[in-house]
Amino acid sequence: MKHRTGYAAAALAVGALTLTACSSGGDDTPAPTGADGSTDWSGQTLTVMHYEGDDSAMGIAWNRAIDIFEEETGATVDLQTTAFEDLNASAEQLFDSSDAPDVSEYNKGNGTAGQLAAIGVIQNLDDAYAEYGWADKLGAGVDTIAKYNEDGVMGSGSFYGVPNYGEFVFLYYNEDLLAEYGLDVPTSMDDLESAFATFADAGITPLTTSAQEYPMGQLWYQLALSQADRSFVDSYQLYTDVVDWSGPEISYATETLADWVDAGYISTSVTGMTAEDAGLQFINGEVPFFYSGSWWYGRMLSDITSFDFGITNWPDTTLTPGSGGNIWVIPVESKQPELAQIFIDITMRPEVQALLGESGGLPVAADTSDIENPDAQALIEIFNEVNDRDGLSFYPDWPTPDFYGDLNSVMQGLVNGDFDPAGAQAQLEEYYESYVSTVR
Amino acid sequence: MTTLTTSPATASGTPKPDHNKTRPRTPSEWILMILAVLGALLVVFPMLLLLLNAFKSPADYANSSPLDFPEALDFTGIQTFWETQNFPRALWNSIFISGMVAILAVILSVLNSFAIGIGRVKGRTWIVLVFLMANLIPQEMLFDPLFRLYDDLGLLSNPWSVIITFTVIQSAFGTYLLASLLGTFPKEILEAAAVDGASRWRILRSVIVPIVRPTLSVLMVFFFIWTWNEFLLPLAFLNSSDSLTVPLLLEQLNGERQTDTTTLIAGTLISIIPTIIFFLIFQRTLTRGITAGAVK
């Protein structure tokens, strides 16, 4: 904890430095501030709602955005923090009520933001995008989750939200364990599998994951993606075409996982493990590899004390699970839609984005050269590598509202032997088609 | 379950305490006692886990089993919880809401059951059934219509939205219970009071309520606890940070993909302290059991 506070404080200090640097530079371009300044917002209140922790990267950056906002507009911010699950349960009613926040963070994806967009509970932001030029700041793959069509399917249609950060999935490895067995950081699938074999021979389970929660499903998806191109992702996620559930991509994924379980690379106890359990195994130094997302990074930095860890992208793949993070939306009952847009725009500014990156998050519109913290740099570096190959491919459970549970149950069956790979694929196809065939 | 099976045996043993001292315990008594101790341990175990883990640093927690003792006493979890969450406010909200519901629901139950149980209105079985519907309907169904109602009334994020809802829901159960209790109320007492010239109001206030008071106080305690633990409807109605109740506040500590476990454990530990104090105060009322008044 002490370590983390120190880290956050350092990030704040660095952020403040970048900020002063930026604001002095910002004086040269008075056009946008002049336009905002023509309206007097003092005495007005903007209710902002989000569910990020106060010392998370987003929390730190957005607190800074609130300060800037209050200073520039003269309005005050009423910050309401909530919990992800709470808002998930109540947003549909809340955003359409007198209690609605003026601007809120909300969960991206078809079943969540897409649904709210389809029933008209969140505002169409096309005009705001045109006015503030947000589309130019967001890379391809990141802005997919900001657009929803009239059925609430992402990827096309109008803008309904603004992603402020990104997230993606990669390989965490234990440097000390790798060094102990004379192994290099794997850069190809062969490297990775031979490293797995070395550890398995030595009696160490090489890869930890969880079949009870998201990690194993994401690993399965990554394996399929490593054999796929963008058209597979479009079919799978955006329903542009029929997915071949016994095609080479998915067969490779299920068969590889089944082989790894047989070879002891993945323990059969993962059926009963949560993501937290898997993460703890890695943090405790019991396993050399853990495949999971950037949301673990800050935790790893603060909690791993007994060894050095490193991060690297999954080898031999152009596509990677990941997406823009959760999005800012403006509820239909927002009392201050204009102020809300100004606030969103401030969170997209380079100084706020840089602070987000410094604090361990993945900014979507930052100048990487502004970021000086080496841990943050390491993460942003491999994120940029994914973005350079236009690799963000979303998450396996997005296509249907129930696929998260469906996928986890099939993964459990695959591990404990209830399903052979072909059976697993058939079962997944049935789950997937039962929903997707109605919307394709 | 084990404690349930042991209680008749120990109850039959208690009238002759002198014998117990002199004669050695039979094997079956030993078995029952071991079962009772095991049952007690099962009950205490979660508390023990809370106590052990609330004082660990996040790194210590990550690196040790939940059953290990903390390496060093660490108060960051408790500190973070206290600093980031407005616990006193949530505690006050919970006490205010649960307290008001307990009092109002008992008053409402007494008035309803007076009409149904003593007044013997026609079709009372059906009326009681209609009342019970409030308990039988899943709360998920009430979620949307009640939300819109309170939105129109301007009562969102206002404790009264929860108080009104749960006064109705709890008093439905209270009406059911008290109506059947008052249905068997001795007529002689009521007639005697009427002969003495007591009005109906007077009969209710000075005759019936004092006699069923033990039941009423038990009901009040139950209403308080049930309302205290309510989650879904308060979650819907109470949206501003200032209006949260204790269970909602704890939920705020759960992240989307990760949870700051030590803070959550520390928060849980802090939040059960008022419940324990409440239990100590009302322990006698609670153990008296809900049918206490029925025997009189």
Q: What is the pLDDT of residues B197-247, one digit of tens each?
A: 989 899 999 999 988 888 898 899 899 999 999 998 999 899 888 899 999
* Claim to verify: residue A9 and residue A153 sit in the same structural domain: yes
* Claim to verify: residue B162 and residue B52 sit in the same structural domain: no
Q: What is the pLDDT of residues B155-208, one digit of tens each?
A: 999 999 999 999 999 999 999 999 988 988 888 889 999 999 989 899 999 999
- Among the partner-chain residues A84, A99, A305, the one whose CB lies closest to the CB of B59 is A305
Q: Which residues of A touch B251 (CB under 8 A)?
A: 83, 85-86
* Residue B240: partners with Cβ closer than 8 Å, 6 or more residues away: A80, A99, B157
Q: What CATH number does the domain containing B177 carry?
A: 1.10.3720.10
How many percent of chain B have pLDDT more than 90? 36
A286 and B CB contact within 8 Å = no
Mutual angle of helices A214-226 and A230-238, in 10-degree steps: 140
* Claim to verify: residue A201 and residue A296 sit in the same structural domain: yes
- Among the partner-chain residues A1, A93, A214, the one whose CB lies closest to the CB of B58 is A1
* Claim to verify: residue A160 and residue A180 sit in the same structural domain: no
A263-276 average pLDDT score: 92
A425 and B CB contact within 8 Å = no
A296 and B CB contact within 8 Å = yes
Residue A379 lies in a domain: no
* Claim to verify: residue B44 and residue B103 sit in the same structural domain: no
* Claim to verify: residue B138 and residue B239 sit in the same structural domain: yes
Q: Which residues of A touch B62 (CB under 8 A)?
A: 280, 283-284, 303
User: Phi, psi (5° rounding) for residue B123?
Assistant: 65, 35
How big is chain B by its Cα radius of gyration, in Å? 24
Point out the least confidently predicted range of A137-141, A147-151, A178-182, A221-225: A137-141
Tell me the two tokens of residue B264. 């959550």
Predicted local confidence at residue A331, as pLDDT: 96
A99 contacts B59? CB cut-off 8 A: no
- Please report where in the chains the tokens 């699938």 appear, as a residue: A189
Predicted local confidence at residue A439, as pLDDT: 81
Q: Which residues of B touch A85 (CB under 8 A)?
A: 251, 254
Tell me the two tokens of residue B46. 């979660």
* Claim to verify: residue B63 and residue B100 sit in the same structural domain: no
Residue A341 lies in a domain: yes
Q: In A, residues 349-368, which contact B (CB 8 Å cutoff)?
A: none
In this prediction, residue B289 has a pLDDT band, given cuts at 50, 70 and 90, of low
Residue A4 has pLDDT above 70, yes or no: no
Tell me how crowded residue A63 is: count the other CB atoms within 10 A of its CB.
17
Q: Which amino acid is at A63?
A: N
Q: What is the pLDDT of residues A152-173, one digit of tens each?
A: 888 889 999 999 999 999 999 9
A223-248 average pLDDT score: 93
* Claim to verify: residue A434 and residue A286 sit in the same structural domain: yes
Predicted local confidence at residue B70, as pLDDT: 85
Predicted local confidence at residue B22, as pLDDT: 65
Domain's final residue, options B81, B108, B129: B81
- CA distance to partner chain B, nearest, from residue A308 (Å): 15
Number of residues in chain A: 440
Residue A372 lies in a domain: no
The residue with greater pLDDT, B157 or A84, is B157
Mutate to test the interface with B, among A45, A54, A99 (most CBs of B within 10 A): A99
* Claim to verify: residue A161 and residue A171 sit in the same structural domain: no
Q: What is the pLDDT of residues A391-437, one digit of tens each?
A: 899 999 888 878 888 999 999 999 999 999 999 999 999 999 998 99
Helix (H) / strand (E) element for A185: namely: none
* SS3 state at A179: helix
Residue A371 lies in a domain: no
- Supply the range of the domain harboring residue A25: 2-165+325-366
Residue B262 and residue B273: Cα distance in Å, rounded?
17
Average pLDDT over chain B reads 84
Q: For strand A166-174 and strand A289-293, is the pairing parallel, antiparallel, or unpaired?
A: antiparallel
In A, minimum Cα distance to B257 occurs at A295
Predicted local confidence at residue A34, as pLDDT: 40
Residue A249 and residue A319: Cα distance in Å, rounded?
12
Residue A112 lies in a domain: yes
Predicted local confidence at residue A101, as pLDDT: 95
B258 contacts A89? CB cut-off 8 A: no
User: In terms of pTM, does the model score above 0.90?
Assistant: no
In this prediction, residue A109 has a pLDDT band, given cuts at 50, 70 and 90, of confident
Under 8 Å CB pairs connecting chains A and B tally to 85
* Claim to verify: residue A113 and residue A235 sit in the same structural domain: no
Helix (H) / strand (E) element for A168: namely: strand A166-174
Would you put residue A108 in left (φ > 0), alpha (ψ -120 to 50) or beta?
Answer: beta
A284 contacts B62? CB cut-off 8 A: yes
* Adjacent-strand bridge partners of B254: B259
The residue with greater pLDDT, A46 or A439, is A46
Point out the least confidently predicted range of A178-182, A196-200, A370-374: A370-374
In this prediction, residue A3 has a pLDDT band, given cuts at 50, 70 and 90, of very low
Q: Which of A379, A388, A291 is nearest to A57 (CA)?
A: A379
* Claim to verify: residue A177 and residue A152 sit in the same structural domain: no
Q: Which residues of A touch B261 (CB under 8 A)?
A: 276
* Claim to verify: residue B210 and residue B271 sit in the same structural domain: yes
A252-269 average pLDDT score: 95
- Please report where in the chains the tokens 């823009």 appear, as a residue: A324
* Claim to verify: residue B72 and residue B89 sit in the same structural domain: no
- Among the partner-chain residues A93, A98, A299, the one whose CB lies closest to the CB of B154 is A98
Residue A140 has pLDDT above 80, yes or no: no
In this prediction, residue A37 has a pLDDT band, given cuts at 50, 70 and 90, of very low
In A, minimum Cα distance to B261 occurs at A276
In B, minimum Cα distance to A83 occurs at B252
- CA distance to partner chain A, nearest, from residue B80 (Å): 10
Q: What is the DSSP letter of A141?
A: T
- CA distance to partner chain A, nearest, from residue B235 (Å): 7
* Claim to verify: residue A217 and residue A341 sit in the same structural domain: no
Number of domain units in chain B: 2
* Claim to verify: residue A401 and residue A286 sit in the same structural domain: yes
- Supply the range of the domain harboring residue B31: 2-81
Number of domain units in chain A: 2
* Claim to verify: residue B124 and residue B7 sit in the same structural domain: no
* Claim to verify: residue B42 and residue B132 sit in the same structural domain: no
In B, minimum Cα distance to A98 occurs at B151
Residues belonging to chain B with any Cβ–Cβ distance to chain A shorter than 8 Å: 57-59, 62-63, 74, 76, 80, 84, 143-144, 147-148, 151, 154, 156-157, 232, 235-236, 239-241, 248, 251-261
Predicted local confidence at residue A243, as pLDDT: 94
- Cα angle A212, A218, A220; round to 5: 95
Residue B161 and residue A97: Cα distance in Å, rounded?
14
* Claim to verify: residue A130 and residue A19 sit in the same structural domain: yes
Q: Is the ipTM of this structure higher than 0.95?
A: no
Tell me the two tokens of residue A326. 């959760």
Residue A172 lies in a domain: yes
A284 contacts B57? CB cut-off 8 A: no
Predicted local confidence at residue B287, as pLDDT: 66
Predicted local confidence at residue B288, as pLDDT: 63
* SS3 state at A173: strand
Are A176 and A307 contacting, i.e. CB atoms less than 8 angstroms apart? yes
Domain's final residue, options B50, B81, B112: B81
* Claim to verify: residue B37 and residue B119 sit in the same structural domain: no
In A, minimum Cα distance to B254 occurs at A83
CA distances from B32 to A10, B20, B35, B41, B154 (A): 60, 15, 5, 14, 57
Q: Which residues of A touch B239 (CB under 8 A)?
A: 80, 82, 90, 94, 99
* Residue B260: partners with Cβ closer than 8 Å, 6 or more residues away: A53, B58, B77, B80, B253
Predicted local confidence at residue A214, as pLDDT: 92
Q: Which of A189, A194, A198 is nearest to A222 (CA)?
A: A189
Predicted local confidence at residue B7, as pLDDT: 42
Domain's final residue, options B35, B58, B81: B81
How many percent of chain A have pLDDT more than 90? 60
CA distances from B136 to A107, B273, B291 (A): 33, 32, 22
A119 and B CB contact within 8 Å = no
- Please report where in the chains the tokens 């991060």 appear, as a residue: A311
A296-311 average pLDDT score: 89
* Claim to verify: residue B42 and residue B62 sit in the same structural domain: yes
In this prediction, residue A9 has a pLDDT band, given cuts at 50, 70 and 90, of very low
Q: What CATH number does the domain containing A331 carry?
A: 3.40.190.10
* Claim to verify: residue A224 and residue A342 sit in the same structural domain: no
Predicted local confidence at residue A231, as pLDDT: 93
B255-266 average pLDDT score: 77
* Claim to verify: residue B168 and residue B96 sit in the same structural domain: yes
In this prediction, residue A269 has a pLDDT band, given cuts at 50, 70 and 90, of very high
* Residue A346: partners with Cβ closer than 8 Å, 6 or more residues away: A65, A68, A69, A72, A352
Residue A142 lies in a domain: yes
In this prediction, residue A340 has a pLDDT band, given cuts at 50, 70 and 90, of very high
Kindly give the residue spans of alpha helices, DSSP state H, lying in chain B: 2-13, 17-22, 27-54, 58-63, 76-84, 87-113, 124-136, 139-153, 159-183, 187-195, 200-203, 209-229, 232-237, 246-251, 261-287, 292-295
Q: Is the dihedral of CA A73, A78, A80, A81 positive or negative?
A: positive
Q: Which residues of A touch B260 (CB under 8 A)?
A: 53
Q: In A, residues 239-278, which contact B (CB 8 Å cutoff)?
A: 275-276
* Claim to verify: residue B172 and residue B110 sit in the same structural domain: yes
Tell me the two tokens of residue A21. 């640097």
How big is chain A by its Cα radius of gyration, in Å? 22
Average pLDDT over chain A reads 87
B151 contacts A98? CB cut-off 8 A: yes
* Claim to verify: residue A95 and residue A203 sit in the same structural domain: no
Spell out where A68-157 has E strands. 76-81, 103-106, 147-148
B241 contacts A80? CB cut-off 8 A: yes
Residue B257 has pLDDT above 70, yes or no: no
- Among the partner-chain residues A83, A98, A283, the one whose CB lies closest to the CB of B62 is A283
- CA distance to partner chain B, nearest, from residue A58 (Å): 13
The residue with greater pLDDT, A55 or A21, is A55
Q: Is the dihedral of CA A232, A237, A238, A241 positive or negative?
A: positive
Residue B246 and residue B164: Cα distance in Å, rounded?
19
A302 contacts B59? CB cut-off 8 A: yes
Residue A380 lies in a domain: no
A89 contacts B235? CB cut-off 8 A: yes
Q: Which of A64, A82, A83 is nearest to A72 (CA)?
A: A64
